[in-house]
Amino acid sequence: MKALITGTTGLLGVHLIQELQRRELGYEPKVDIQEGIRLSASWFNARAQQQPCVASPVNTPTTH
């Protein structure tokens, strides 16, 4: 399988990888790439709003 995709880039490379996944693994995506990106971004954004963006220091020694 690796020999077929070595050095292949762009849309041809993506197509070959998808064909190998279908043929060798029986994999079929449930959504197309654009919908997958939209769903991933939505999921990420929903979780980013739930988490603080700035990390707080942990076990920072205090000096007196």
To the question of pTM greater than 0.85 for the whole model, the response is no
Of residues 36 and 57, more confidence is placed in: 36
| pLDDT given for residue 4 in this prediction | 54
pLDDT tens sequence across 4-45: 555 666 777 777 888 888 999 998 888 888 998 999 999 999
DSSP assignment of 2-64, as one string?
A: HHHHTT--HHHHHHHHHHHIIIII----SS-HHHHHHHHHHHHHHHHHHS-SSPPPSSPPP--
Report pLDDT for 29.
Answer: 84
The residue extents of the domains of the chain are 2-37
pLDDT (0 to 100) of residue 53: 57
In the prediction, which pLDDT does 18 show? 83
Burial 39-58, CB ≥16 within 10 A → b, else e: eeeeeeeeeeeeeeeeeeee
